[in-house]
Structures are given as C-alpha cells and as structure tokens.
Amino acid sequence: MRMIQLKGGGQLPALGLGTWKSAPGEVATAVREALRVGYRHIDCAPIYGNEAEIGGALADAIADGDVTRDELWITSKLWCDRHAEKDVVPALQQTLKDLRLERLDLFLVHWPVALKKGKQMAERAKDFIALDRLPIAKTWKGMEAAHAAGHARHIGVSNFSAKKLRELCSVASVQPAMNQVELHPYLAQVDLLGTCRELGVAVTAYSPLGSQDRPPVLRAEGERNLLLDPLVTEIAESLGVTPAQVLIAWALQRGTAVIPKSVNPARLEENFAAAKVELGPIDMQRLGSLDAGRRYVTGEFWTTPGSPYTLANLWDE
Ligand code: A2P
C-alpha cells in the first residue's frame, strides 16, 4: 500500500474508506468487511451521523484480534458549529467517545464555514457566523490545543482553497498536515494541488467516484456520472479493470490519498484492489483532459439567502 507522508512525522495508507452516506445500520458491517479486506484508513466525521456505530465496529475488530489500534489510521472532523476556540476540544472528545478511541490520527476542520452552536445546517440567515466574526485562525487555536493535549496526532483542514490554506499556514503554530477536498477527473484541482505541494500539505481526494448516492438536494439536474464517462470506461476496458478502479488508481498515482465510499462487500474489495492497478502516462494524461472544474459537492447549501457565504468567497474562485 502506498503511504502518504505527513508534516509532523506520521504516514497514512493512501487508500482509505469513506463513510459519508454510509447509513447507520450498515456502516458497522461495511467497516468490519473493509478491515477484513485490508483497509486500515477510515475517514469519519460527526456530521455523517454514524461515528458511534463505526466506533463499535472498530472496538469489536480490535477485541477480535482482526487489527490493532496502531495499525489503524482514523481521521475525523470538526463540524461547523464548533468553530469557537473553546468548543474544539470538547467536540473532539465527543468524537473520541463515539469512535471509542483515545486519540485520532488526523483531525480536520470540516469546512471554512461557521454556524451557531447546535446547528447542523443553517435553517435561516442568523444561523451563520461570518468568518470575519469567527476567523479560521481562532478555530485553529482550538485545533492546536487538541493537538497539544494529545487528542489528535495531526491536524488539518478540508474544503480549503489555496488562498485560505496560505492564510492559515502564515498564522499557524502547528502547520496543517492535510487538506481534504473533492478531487476526480472532472475536478482535477491542479493549481490547488500545486499550492498544497509547495506548502507541504498532503491532499486527500473525497468523492473520487462522483458520489452518486448524494441526497437529492445535493444533486444537480442532468449531472454527468463519472463512473459512466466514455473515456473512463474505455480505459477500464482496455486494462481489464472497472471504472471505479481507474478513478481510484488515478487519484493514487497523483500522490493523493483517496477515500472511496462503499458499503457493498464486492465493491469494497474491488476498490481496495485498485491500489494494484497501474495507469500509463498516456492514460493519466487523457484522464487529465476531462478536467472541467465540475464539483459534485458545490457548497451551494452554504449560500442560502442572507448567508455571508457565497460560492465566490467559499472557493475563492
Ligand atoms: P455502494 O456504497 O453501494 O457501493 P464516492 O466515494 O465518490 O462518494 O462514491 C460513493 C458511491 O459510489 C456510492 O453510491 C457507492 O455505492 C458507489 N460505489 C462505490 N464503489 C463502487 C464501485 N466499485 N463501482 C460502482 N459504484 C461504486
């Protein structure tokens, strides 16, 4: 398994398991199956609503001797309503309790968006807090406190633009080790990857398969299905692999970590086997030509009427 080296000394298995949209009732079985197949990196977040069930699966797997804690890499994230400096450590402690862990390997600021405490999403304009009132630099102090207390071996961010990442790096005492962003051939984010490389920030690709199981409110009419893209399927056929394996191999060969989600045993195995798929330089280049700056997770849900957030100031594009 390819490993991704992080600032701060640790390294994570490049291919991990995504758990966004893995429903309670099915995620425990999926995690156990993933561990059996060989996954050692699990990506979690409290907003996914399934950390307690994942924690049960991890505890059972460790108790049954399938895996040791030291072999695992567990990432989780800080939800937007806990951005106040003093709220960060308690939020992480709740996640640790749910995941039944003493510490995380990686803890990320989930979005550069702040909400009033207790709000999972904004129902009205006053549920938002603008970043000039609660800046990321303040939230980061809480992240650094979590790191200093030993609750998280590494800290990082998610959904950060190059601009926000640079700003954070310029004020951080503990540098962010990771930026987890949406990445796939329709959204190759070449410039952002360059900035991350320059800053020494590793990158994790989320929604690498195009997240076709997103809830209907997060789907656009007529959006293209990456898994059915003619070039992706053509390359898959030519190599005797599946489209999902092409997409995962593409992410790995770009030097990013990648966290395809599945709750299906056959697909968990298929996705894990993608670590052995090799794409030649021409196929990598052809896949690169699909870049259209097209997000599946557009962030529009942060831009409801009266919100201080716009797509322009969210992505800095
Ligand atoms: P399932 O969980 O039933 O396997 P992403 O990782 O981009 O969020 O995509 C997740 C979606 O892709 C889920 O709907 C998941 O369904 C599906 N999926 C996962 N692995 C594969 C695969 N190998 N082939 C086709 N679809 C897959």
Q: Whose C-alpha lies nearest to ligand 1, atom 14?
A: 213
pLDDT in tens, 214-254: 988 888 888 999 999 999 999 999 999 999 999 999 999 99
pLDDT in tens, 67-86: 999 999 999 999 999 999 99
Q: What is the mean pLDDT of residues 113-133?
A: 96
Residue 203 has which token pair? 């990158």
Ligand 1 site-directed mutation target among 44, 186, 219, 264, most atoms within 8 Å of CB: 264
Catalytic sites, residue numbers: 48
Q: Is 208 in the pocket of ligand 1 (CB under 6 A)?
A: yes
Q: What is the mean pLDDT of residues 190-214?
A: 97
CB proximity list for 264: less than 8 A, separation 6 or greater: 30
Q: What is the mean pLDDT of residues 131-138?
A: 97
For the CA of 245, the closest atom of ligand 1 is 23
Q: Is 16 in the pocket of ligand 1 (CB under 6 A)?
A: no
For the CA of 20, the closest atom of ligand 1 is 8
Ligand 1 centroid to residue 213 C-alpha, Å: 8
Q: What is the mean pLDDT of residues 179-189?
A: 98
pLDDT at 217: 83
Residue 9 has pLDDT above 90, yes or no: no
Ligand 1 site-directed mutation target among 39, 183, 267, 277, most atoms within 8 Å of CB: 267
Q: What is the mean pLDDT of residues 270-274?
A: 98
Q: Whose C-alpha lies nearest to ligand 1, atom 25?
A: 244
Residue 5 has which token pair? 């080296």
Ligand 1 centroid to residue 32 C-alpha, Å: 17
Q: What is d(CA 92, CA 128) in angstroms, rounded to the nearest whole number?
A: 21
Q: Is 29 in the pocket of ligand 1 (CB under 6 A)?
A: no
pLDDT at 221: 84
pTM above threshold 0.85: yes
Q: What is the mean pLDDT of residues 106-133?
A: 96
Place of tokens 């320059």: 198
pLDDT at 216: 85
Ligand 1 site-directed mutation target among 261, 271, 296, most atoms within 8 Å of CB: 261
Q: Average pLDDT over the chain, rounded to whole?
A: 96
Largest separation between any pair of C-alpha atoms in the chain: 54
Q: What is d(CA 311, CA 193) in angstroms, rounded to the nearest whole number?
A: 20
Q: Which burial class, exposed, middle or buried, applies to 40 when counting CB atoms under 10 A from its CB (0-12, 13-18, 19+)? A: middle
Q: What is the mean pLDDT of residues 294-312?
A: 96
- For residue 181, the cross-strand partners are 205
Provide the pLDDT confidence category of residue 1 given band limits of 50, 70 and 90.
confident
Q: What is d(CA 151, CA 145) in angstroms, rounded to the nearest whole number?
A: 9
Q: What is d(CA 287, CA 247) in angstroms, rounded to the nearest whole number?
A: 9
Pick from 198, 186, 197: nearest CA to 255 = 197
pLDDT at 311: 97
Q: Which burial class, exposed, middle or buried, applies to 143 when counting CB atoms under 10 A from its CB (0-12, 13-18, 19+)? A: buried
**Range of lowest pLDDT (88-97, 210-219, 307-316):** 210-219
CA distances from 275 to 38, 115, 165, 231 (A): 11, 38, 29, 20
pLDDT at 7: 86
Residue 162 has pLDDT above 90, yes or no: yes
